[in-house]
C-alpha cells in the first residue's frame, strides 16, 4: 500500500464515483511509484461490490486514457493476472478536487453591497463580491424542475409489474437518487421493463417487490447491459462504415448496394469525401 499514490488519486477528479472507487482500490495495492498492482478484475469486483461489466469497462477506459498501464502478468490458480501501474503523471494532470484558494483579506467595512474598492486594513483588496452578496446565494431548484423529476420517476415506477408494487414513496426516492447519480430515466424504465419480461410467469415466492428491487439496485445490471449493448452496436456500425468506405475508395462494384442514408453517414463521419463519392458513381 502507498499513501503517496492513494493521496494523489484522492485529490483528483476521475469523472464519476465508480471510477474513483476503482482507482482508489488499485492505488491501495500500488507501490510508491504506482507499480506492482496485481489483482484481477474479479477481485476488484468483490471488494468494490460493483458489477463485473462496470469493472471491466472502467479498467478498459483507464487503459485507453493512459491512467493505467499493463506492465506484465503473473501466474495464478486461474491462469494469469495482469500487473498494472498507475501513471502518476496522468493522474496529477487531472482536475483537483480542492477548491482554489482565494485571498480575500479583511476590509474596513466588512459588509458591502458591491465589489470592494477602498483600501483595507492589511493593504490587500477585498474580494470582488462579499460572501453575503445576494448573487452568491444558490437558488433552490424550481418547482418546474422538481415536478419534471417527479414525473420521470413516476414513469419508471409505472413500468414495474403492478402485482409487485409496494412502498411507492420509498421506490420514488430510490429512483430519484439514481437519477441524481446520472442514470437516465429512460434507461431506468427500460431496465424495469426488461426485469418484468424476464420474471414473467414467476410465482409470488420468486418475485421481488418494488421497494426491495430499487433498494437493492437490481436495475443496475440491466442498465450496464444496455450500455454494453450500445457499445457493441456502435462498434458494429463503425466496422460497417469502414467497409463501405473501402468499397468507395476502391470503386468496387459493391458500391451499388450503398444507400443514400449510408452515404450521408459516411460523409458526416468524414470517412470519405464528396469527390470519392462522385468518383465511385454515387450521389449524395
Instruction: Give the Å distances, CA to CA, from 26 to 15, 36, 59, 153.
Output: 16, 10, 10, 35
22 has pLDDT over 90 = yes
Q: What is the DSSP letter of 202?
A: -
**Stretch 262-282: mean pLDDT, rounded?**
86
CB 267 within 8 A of CB 274: yes
C-alpha cell belonging to residue 207: 418475485
Tens of pLDDT along 109-154? 555 545 555 445 555 555 555 555 555 555 555 666 667 778 888 9
Q: Please report the pLDDT score of residue 138 as a whole number.
A: 53
Identify the band that residue 105 occupies on the pLDDT scale cut at 50, 70 and 90.
low
Tens of pLDDT along 249-268? 888 888 888 898 888 888 88
Nearest 10 degrees: CA dihedral of 105, 106, 111, 115? -40
- Render 10-33 in DSSP notation, one character per residue: HTB--SSHHHHHHHHHHHHT--TT
Identify the band that residue 71 occupies on the pLDDT scale cut at 50, 70 and 90.
confident
**Stretch 169-193: mean pLDDT, rounded?**
90
Local structure of 165: helix, strand or coil: coil
Q: What's the start-to-end Cα distance of the chain, in Å?
A: 59
- Render 69-117 in DSSP notation, one character per residue: EEEEEEEETTEEEEEEEE-HHHHHTSPBSSPPP-----BSSS--SS---
149/154 Cα distance (integer angstroms)? 9
Q: Which of 4-13, 64-73, 76-85 has the lowest mean pLDDT?
A: 76-85
> Who's near 52: CB < 8 A, 6+ residues apart?
41, 42, 45
Q: Please report the pLDDT score of residue 21 as a whole number.
A: 93
Q: Which of 123-132, 229-238, 273-282 has the lowest mean pLDDT?
A: 123-132
- Render 130-142 in DSSP notation, one character per residue: -TTSGGGSPPPPP
Q: Please report the pLDDT score of residue 29 as a whole number.
A: 86
- Looking at per-residue pLDDT, the higher value among 235 and 144 belongs to 235
- Bridge partners of residue 83, in order along the sequence: 38, 72
106 has pLDDT over 60 = no
Length of the chain (residues): 284
26/9 Cα distance (integer angstroms)? 10
45 has pLDDT over 80 = yes
Q: Which of 41-50, 130-139, 205-214 has the lowest mean pLDDT?
A: 130-139
- Bridge partners of residue 37, in order along the sequence: 84
Q: Please report the pLDDT score of residue 149 as a whole number.
A: 75
Return the ∠ at Cα 89 (arms to 88 and 95), rounded to 5°: 95
**Number of other residues whose CB lies within 10 A of the CB of residue 198:** 10
Amino acid at each position: 500500500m502507498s499513501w503517496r499514490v492513494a493521496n494523489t488519486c484522492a485529490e483528483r477528479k476521475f469523472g464519476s464515483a465508480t471510477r474513483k472507487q476503482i482507482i482508489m482500490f488499485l492505488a491501495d495495492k500500488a507501490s510508491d511509484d504506482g507499480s506492482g498492482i496485481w489483482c484481477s478484475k474479479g477481485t476488484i469486483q468483490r471488494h468494490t461490490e460493483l458489477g463485473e461489466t462496470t469493472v471491466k469497462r472502467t479498467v478498459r477506459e483507464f487503459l485507453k486514457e493512459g491512467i493505467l498501464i499493463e506492465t506484465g502478468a503473473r501466474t495464478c490458480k486461474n491462469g494469469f493476472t495482469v500487473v498494472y501501474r498507475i501513471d502518476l503523471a496522468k493522474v496529477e494532470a487531472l482536475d483537483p478536487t480542492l477548491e482554489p484558494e482565494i485571498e480575500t483579506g479583511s476590509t474596513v467595512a466588512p459588509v458591502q453591497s458591491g465589489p470592494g474598492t477602498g483600501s483595507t486594513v492589511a493593504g490587500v483588496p477585498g474580494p470582488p463580491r462579499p460572501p453575503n452578496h445576494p448573487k452568491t446565494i444558490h437558488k433552490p431548484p424550481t418547482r418546474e424542475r422538481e415536478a419534471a423529476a417527479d414525473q420521470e420517476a413516476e414513469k419508471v415506477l409505472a413500468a414495474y409489474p403492478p402485482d409487485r408494487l409496494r412502498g411507492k414513496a420509498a421506490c420514488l426516492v430510490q429512483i430519484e437518487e439514481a437519477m441524481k447519480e446520472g442514470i437516465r430515466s429512460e434507461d431506468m424504465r427500460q431496465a424495469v421493463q426488461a426485469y418484468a419480461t424476464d420474471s414473467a410467469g414467476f410465482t409470488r415466492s420468486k418475485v421481488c417487490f418494488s421497494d426491495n428491487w430499487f433498494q437493492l439496485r437490481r436495475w443496475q445490471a440491466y442498465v450496464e447491459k444496455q450500455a454494453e449493448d450500445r457499445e457493441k452496436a456502435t462498434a458494429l456500425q463503425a466496422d460497417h462504415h469502414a467497409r463501405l468506405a473501402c468499397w468507395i475508395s476502391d470503386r468496387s462494384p459493391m458500391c451499388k448496394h450503398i444507400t443514400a442514408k449510408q452515404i450521408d453517414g459516411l460523409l458526416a463521419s468524414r470517412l470519405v469525401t464528396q469527390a470519392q463519392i462522385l468518383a465511385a458513381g454515387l450521389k449524395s
